Amino acid sequence: MDLTTTLLIILGVIVVVAIIGVVIAKSAHKGAQTGEKPAVEASEATAAAEGEPQDAEHKQEAEAQAVAATENKPKAEPQQTAEPQQTAEPQPEAELAAQPEAAKPEAAAQPETAAQPQPEAPVKQEIVKPENSQSRLVRLRSKLAHSANPFGKALFSILSRDHLSEEDWEDVEDTLLLADVGAEASEKIVDELRQDSRAQGTRSAEEVRDMLRERLLDAVGRDTDRSLEALSNNEPAEPGAAEQAHPLHVIIMVGVNGTGKTTTAGKLGRLFVAEGRHVVLAAADTFRAAAADQLATWAAQSGIEVVRSDKDGADPASVAYDAAQKALNDKADVLIVDTAGRLQNKRNLMDELGKIRRVIEKLTPVQEVLLVLDATTGQNGMTQAEVFAEAIGITGVVLTKLDGSAKGGIVISVQNKLGVPVKLVGLGEGPDDLAVFDPAGFVDGILG
């Protein structure tokens, strides 16, 4: 066998292997598209590759195959380079094209969910016009007159008897004590009533009522100054007035949990708005969950701005300071500071009230410290009042839940014990159910 023949045989084998590779590639491509018969075609190609090199019956056949392979070689090479490009390129393009199409619906869906809560915001802007002070007094007097208070009725029933024995007078004193008037005040009222009874002799029911009314008015304090300094001037300051003639009035609200302190702060702000005052509320109760939200809800009903902290457990004194600074910058008329409710036996918390006052007074004086008391707590309210008065100093008392309460005598007891007046009373759940305390209306209400 000469060299030329050997080279032709080797070249033929190479060409056959190349053809087998092309066949396998085509089979793999068809198998990926149809999922059928890739293994069968590969085995047939392999059998052909093994059989043809080993078939040496005649050298001429090999030479013919080599010649045929040489003629077909230029055609096979472009197929090997072109087919991988055709199979590789369409697949990534299809995948890349499919991915943006799948992402577009997701991006379009997100704005739909984000836009839903926004229309609810304007609800906070609904402001109902508050009642003025005179209108409140008329309505609250009516509520007191219709309240089922057994305090005055029991006294009237006893004093209407023809001849009052010593036991009758003891019943009068017991009735006063049960109404939380206090021992000292009860004894004084009984002595005065006894003297009036002896001087007048036989009396009609109307005379008895008038006598009792006068003594209760004296006990409540008919001439006591109950005004709030921020309301002492009936007209709000004119825009651009001198700062000295238009000071900021600061009111700090204190009390234990459950007395309605935060609610009272919101209602008090509304009372000032009704009188044309510019009010700022400070949410310095940073301990109770949702206290700031509760205050903001009340403020929204009257269009009042609230200064609050976004941090849980923030320093109450810091919130109060920021609120005072803002109220001064905005030239507000009134700043009402709501503080955290605390038990009177918690010394550290009580000391914190003093800190709040000192911090505010670095910027502006504090005119009022109002203690909020629940009228139904009775003499326990006296204990609270004494401790708060010692910790921060009290200028007045707000009695809540006074409607229909048998504990109305706490008004007399607090004033006698602390020497500070009851300035405001709450007689309902409505936003305007808070008014300046009216002694005559209160006494008439409990007498029925």
Binding-site members are 255-262, 338-342, 400-403
Task: Give CA torsion, residues 251, 255, 258, 261, to 10 deg.
Answer: 0
Tokens of residue 235, six digits: 């007209």
Measured CA to CA, the distance from residue 10 to residue 199 in angstroms comes to 150
**Can you give the length of the chain in residues?**
448
Side-chain-side CA neighbours of 148 within 13 Å: the count stands at: 0
Q: HSE on the CB side for 179, CA within 13 Å?
A: 27
Contacts of 70 (CB under 8 A, 6+ apart): 11, 15
Which helix or strand (DSSP H or E) is residue 283 part of? strand 279-284
Is 194 buried (19+), middle (13-18) or exposed (0-12) by CB count in 10 A? middle
How many other C-beta atoms are found inside a 10 Å radius of the C-beta of residue 390?
12
CA dihedral over 387, 390, 392, 395, signed as positive or negative: positive
Residues of the binding site for GTP:
255-262, 338-342, 400-403
Question: What is the chain's Cα-based Rg?
Answer: 47
